[in-house]
Amino acid sequence: MNNASFKYPDQAAYELVTAQLAAKNITYKDIAVITKELQKQYLPDVPLSEFEAETQDVLHKREVMNNVMVALELDRLATAHELKEPLESIICNDAGVFGVDEGLALNIANIYGTIGVTNYGYVDKVKEGIIKRLDEEKGDEVNTFIDDIIGAIAAAVAAKMAHKYA
């Protein structure tokens, strides 16, 4: 039951998010690069530093942090074989009809309105830059959630920029 006296740990949440991304060799700067690429035809003159600042802003939002933490814990737990079957196999095989990875990502994108959602849908299909690398990475690590999460954060930043310069 909801514990009304519990104070949301904003700083610790941000630190876990940063650590989870670092464990996949990703920083907020990498995400900013994806967004700059996404927006290059609309905002060619906006410096990368501005995309970086907006990415950090998105990464501090609670609803974003909560979905990121859950998603990346699920990748970690699947890698460690700590999930029950058949969920373990569904996640390890990144089954096309799973949809929970896209669902958590959409919960992030939704907060930034329909521009966030359509940008995420596009990124999810074309798998730009670092997302493509993650999605294709060989090895023992499960990367089912991380690519959707990166795509959703990049889409959220793109939506913020689109509104800012509308």
Ranges of H-type helices in 23-61: 28-38, 48-59
Q: Which of the ranges 11-19, 26-34, 44-52 carries the binding residues for a second copy, by CB under 8 A?
A: 11-19
CB of 62 to a second copy, least distance (A): 5
Which residue in 52, 54, 75, 124 binds a second copy (CB under 8 A)? 124
| Length of the chain counted residue by residue | 166
Give the integer Cα–Cα distance in Å for 32 and 134: 16
Site size toward a second copy, by CB under 8 A:
65
Which residue in 30, 94, 128, 141 binds a second copy (CB under 8 A)? 94
Residue with tokens 């509308």: 166
Q: Binding of a second copy at residue 22 (CB under 8 A)?
A: no
* Of the candidates 63, 64, 91, 87, the residue with the CA atom closest to the CA atom of residue 149: 64
Give the integer Cα–Cα distance in Å for 152 and 6: 28
- CA–CA–CA angle 94, 142, 103 (5° rounding): 50
Q: Which of residues 29-48 bind a second copy (CB under 8 A)?
A: 42
| Residues found near a second copy in the complex (CB under 8 A) | 1-4, 6-9, 12-13, 16, 42, 62-63, 66-67, 69-70, 73-74, 76-77, 82-87, 89-90, 93-100, 102-104, 106-107, 110-115, 117-122, 124-126, 135-137, 143, 162-163, 166
